[in-house]
Chains A and B, each alone.
Chain A
Amino acid sequence: MKNDLNAFVAADPSKCIGCRVCEIACAVAHLDKTVKTVGSLNAPLLPRLYLVKTPETTMPVQCRHCEDAPCVKSCPVSAINRRDNKIMMAEQRCIGCKSCLLACPFGAIELIAVCPDDRSRDYNVVASKCDLCSGKLNGPACVAACPSQALRYVNIAEERKCRQLHAATKAGNFIKEFRAREG
Chain B
Amino acid sequence: MKHSLIKIDDELCTGCRRCAAVCPVDAIEGKQGQPQMIHSDKCVMCGQCVQICSGYASLFEEYETPRDQKMRERHMPPAVNEPLFAAYHTGDYPKVKAVLDNQNAYTMVQCAPAVRVAIAEEFGLPLGSLVPGKLAAALRRVGFSRVYDTNFAADLTIMEEGAELVQRLTKGGTLPMFTSCCPAWVTFIETRYPELVKHLSSCKSPQQMAGTMFKTYGAQLDGVTADQVYSVAVMPCTCKKFEAERPEMNSSGYQDVDAVLTTRELAYLIKEAGIDFHSLPEESFDNPLGIYSGAGTIFGVTGGVMEAAIRTAYEMITSKKLDNIELIQVRGSQGRRQIVLDLGTMKLKTVVVSGLKHAVPILENLKKGIADFHFMEVMTCPAGCVSGGGQPKMLLPVDCLASHQRRTASTYQHDAELLVRKSHDNPAIKAIYQEFLGEPLGHKSHKLLHTHYHVSHPDH
Interfacial residues, chain A to chain B (CB-CB below 8 A): 17-21, 23-25, 28, 35-47, 50-51, 53, 58, 110, 144-145, 147
Contacts and interface: CB of A to CB of B under 8 A. Distances in A.
Contact of A40 (B54, B58, B123): B123
A21 B85 CA distance: 12
Given A36-B127, A47-B58, A144-B398, 15 more contacts: A17-B32, A18-B16, A19-B18, A19-B54, A20-B58, A24-B56, A36-B396, A36-B399, A37-B393, A38-B83, A38-B393, A39-B82, A39-B122, A39-B393, A40-B392
A21 B122 contact: no
B172 to A, nearest CB: 49
Most buried by B among A24, A38, A42, A110: A38
Contacts of A39: 82, 121-122, 264, 267, 392-393
A113 to B, nearest CB: 10
Contacts of B398: 144-145
Contacts of A51: 14, 58
Contacts of A42: 81
Interface string B27-62: 000001100000000000000000000111011100
Contact of A58 (B33, B264, B397): B33
Contacts of B14: 18-20, 51, 53, 58
B83 A145 contact: no
B150 interface: no
Contacts, number: 95
A35 B55 contact: no
A59 to B, nearest CB: 12
20 contacts: A17-B32, A19-B54, A19-B55, A20-B58, A21-B54, A35-B124, A35-B395, A37-B121, A37-B392, A37-B393, A38-B392, A38-B395, A39-B392, A41-B83, A43-B81, A45-B59, A45-B83, A58-B14, A145-B397, A145-B398
A50 B264 CA distance: 28
Contacts of A53: 14, 33
A45 B18 contact: no
Interface in B127-159: 127
A70 B59 CA distance: 26
Contact of A28 (B18, B32, B33, B396): B396
A110 B60 contact: yes
A17 B264 CA distance: 28
B394 interface: yes
Interface residues of B, number: 33
Contacts of A40: 121-124, 392
B17 interface: yes
B56 A36 contact: no
A44 B59 contact: yes
Contacts of A44: 59, 81, 83
B403 interface: yes
B389 interface: no
Contacts of A110: 60
A20 B82 CA distance: 16
Nearest to A23: B58
A124 B15 CA distance: 35
Contacts of A20: 14, 16, 54-56, 58
Contacts of A28: 395-396
A17 B18 contact: yes
A37 B59 contact: no
The 3 lowest CB-CB distance pairs between A and B, nearest first, are A19-B16, A39-B122, A37-B392
Contacts of B16: 17-20
A58 B394 CA distance: 24
Contacts of A35: 124, 395
A38 B121 CA distance: 9
Contact of B396 (A18, A25, A46): A25
A56 B342 CA distance: 62
